[in-house]
Amino acid sequence: CEAACTLNVNDGAVGIKSIEHAIIDRAWENGWVKAQPAPIRTGKKVAVVGSGPAGMAAAQQLARVGHDVTLFEKNDRVGGLLRYGIPDFKMEKTHIDRRVEQLKAEGVTIRTSVLVGEMPKGSKVTNWAKETISPARLQADFDAVLLTGGSEQSRDLPVPGRDLDGIYFAMEFLPQQNKVNAGDKLKNQLSASGKHVIVIGGGDTGSDCVGTSNRHGAASVTQFEVMPQPPVEENRPLTWPYWPMKLRTSSSHDEGCVREFAISTKEFIGEKGKLTGLKTVHIALKDGKMVEIPGTEKTYKADLVLLAMGFVSPVATVLDAFGVDKDNRGNARASTDFTGGYATNVAKVFAAGDMRRGQSLVVWAIREGRQAARSIDEFLMGFSDLPR
């Protein structure tokens, strides 16, 4: 909301982010953030599948009104993409750890390295599970189940040469570095050290790949964005109060990166099955369509390509295993209605966060998790005092 601040029309916006940071940091430093265990237990059991921001938010609300909550996570640590996705230089994991301790103190049971459902064969989604539980088991053992997994199915780039060795999704690359930073050892970690890296995708995930590649000691880092370069300064009167379109430069870019805009990858090229480069062409918007600009073809050297073009949907096999209906984007179909919201077509099964709305922001995930908790509480008890 800083970008929509009224002062931003002709002055600097109020520093909302820094103010909120200062408030919560002081609260933690002074011990004002305390566990709030429920004084009375309801005897109702709820399974929350996925320990990202939506899952943690929902689990906390449900535990505070007395339900017995078990939080399931397929990887070995709680946090979802906050833990294994956002680089440590961008968000320290102590922020997650202290919330996890609060959840435990409030009675939430946490089970990590447990996959609920199944992964499709050949899936590139990070999965460090050591145990599998069937949806039928959860539905039999719990009074309600909330699905809050992330939108982890990455958008692919199916051009010639895609099968060459050296092309990976960003979410194959980034989680490994998070795991190493946490003190674990990985065999055959994907590394950008000494390599010419090209990151395809100009968003936050692409920026994270740039920063991580620089820390690995990449020989060079280039970032591609299919859209034209935005203006350095936004037209404030025109865009306010909407999110302004302007060039955004992260600290990762400042550390070293060549940025190419309005560029499309035509083909990956290689030798003996290994990536050596890629062919590109510049594009322009004409009559509502992206068209190639003749004479702008170019070949880039590349040893490592990271695909960071966003995410298309949750893992379909997980939803299919529960029998949950999907919308036309592959997300769990569930409304946000005041009554009966977040409930799927399957009895006792609810969905929230990226699992329901698709790729989105952390704040949306937290909001949906809290709202879903209220719907589940009302479903179990016939009423709810939880805030909407």
- pLDDT above 80 (res 346): yes
DSSP state of 80: G
Distance CA 364, CA 368 (A): 6
Q: What is the mean pLDDT of residues 57-80?
A: 98
Report the chain's C-alpha Rg in angstroms. Answer: 22
Please name the CATH architecture into which domain 34-153+312-381 falls: 3-Layer(bba) Sandwich (3.50)
Percent of the chain with pLDDT over 90: 88
> pLDDT-based confidence at 274, cuts 50/70/90?
very high
Q: Residue 214 in contact with residue 222, Cβ under 8 Å?
A: no
Look at the domain 156-309 and name its fold.
FAD/NAD(P)-binding domain (3.50.50)
Q: How confident is the model at residue 133 (pLDDT cuts 50, 70, 90)?
A: very high
For 307-338, what is each residue's pLDDT tens digit? Answer: 999 999 999 999 999 999 999 999 999 999 99
| CA atoms within 13 A of residue 168's CA, in its CB half-sphere | 20
Q: Is 69 in contact with 59 (CB distance < 8 Å)?
A: yes
User: What are the domain boundaries of the chain?
Assistant: 34-153+312-381, 156-309
Shared fold status for 34-153+312-381 and 156-309: yes
The helix/strand/coil state of 376 is helix
Q: Is the pLDDT of residue 246 over 90?
A: no
Classify 165 as helix, strand or coil.
Answer: strand
Helix (H) or strand (E) holding 273: none
Is the link from the previous residue into 53 a cis peptide, with omega within 30 of 0? no
Q: Dump strand ranges (E) for 52-175.
A: 68-72, 109-111, 114-116, 131-133, 144-147, 153-154, 167-169
Whether the per-residue pLDDT at 184 is higher than 80: the answer is: yes
In angstroms, the CA 251 to CA 215 distance is 12
Q: How far apart are CA 233 and CA 295, in angstroms?
A: 30
The mean pLDDT value for 263-280 works out to 97
Model confidence at 11, in pLDDT bands (50, 70, 90)?
confident
> Does position 198 have pLDDT exceeding 80, yes or no?
yes
pLDDT at 324: 97
Is the pLDDT assigned to residue 96 strictly greater than 90?
Answer: yes
Decide: 275 and 165 in contact? Cβ < 8 Å. yes
Check residue 162 and give its pLDDT. 97
DSSP of 2-70: GGG-GGGGTSPPP-HHHHHHHHHHHHHHTT-------SS----EEEEE--SHHHHHHHHHHHHTT-EEE
Backbone phi and psi for residue 54, each to the nearest 5 degrees, phi listed first: -65, -45
Tokens of 29: 């430093």
Enumerate the β-bridge partners of residue 154: 311
Which segments within 227-273 are labelled E, that is strand?
Answer: 258-261, 263-271
Quote the DSSP letter at residue 120. Answer: P
Return the minimum-mean-pLDDT range out of 209-218, 235-244, 299-308, 346-355: 235-244
Instruction: Return the structure tokens found at 349.
Output: 């099964």
Distance CA 309, CA 353 (A): 20
**CA pair distance 26, 111, nearest whole angstrom:** 31
Taking the alpha carbons at both ends of the chain, their separation in whole angstroms is 21
User: In whole angstroms, how far apart are CA 26 and each of 34, 92, 346?
Assistant: 13, 17, 43
